[in-house]
Structure 1
């Protein structure tokens, strides 16, 4: 059985962690080379899925998926 990921709740947790770490949506946009920051906001709202989500968590936010709940709690 595979766990399901609640994209909206994940986005809420990531916003909290980004705030704690001082990472702005613009920083993620520039890191990924997106033309507009709106894609990052859609991702945080749970509307789209980034294939590179794990890279963002690991490299930019320095967290593992298992640690997200503890950090955001």
Structure 2
């Protein structure tokens, strides 16, 4: 058994909301930046119901002026069996 990191979706969502506010951006601002028709995706990210796609995560990091690693919250408690 090996401990591998797993993304904590709830805490990552809270982090996205905190970083967005810290950057002085509204949900509507992010909606416009990403070109989304509705703000639902951003609300889902902030609630931890969904994660941004990899390309949206890279854009989000650039917009918030942080590293991708600063957005994601990981938990290393997950044990995974690795077979050779």
The TM tier, using the shorter chain, reads 0.7 to 0.9
User: Which structure carries more helix by proportion?
Assistant: 1
Moved more, 2-11 or 60-69: 60-69
User: Which structure carries more strand by proportion?
Assistant: 2
Could you list the structure 1 runs, at least 4 aligned residues long, displaced by more than 6 angstroms after superposition.
Answer: none
Report the TM-score, using the length of structure 2 for normalisation.
Answer: 0.68
How far apart are 1:11 and its partner, in Å? 1.1
User: Unaligned regions of 5+ residues in structure 2, if any?
Assistant: 73-84
Q: Looking at CA atoms only, which structure, 1 or 2, has the larger radius of gyration?
A: 2
Residue aligning to 2:19:
17
RMSD between aligned residues: 2.0
CA distance in 1, matches of 2:23, 2:42: 16
Residue aligning to 1:48:
50
Q: Deviations over 1:28-67 (max 9, x none)?
A: 111111110122101111111221112201x210001334
CA distance in 2, matches of 1:66, 1:39: 20
User: Unaligned regions of 5+ residues in structure 1, if any?
Assistant: none
Residue aligning to 1:61:
64
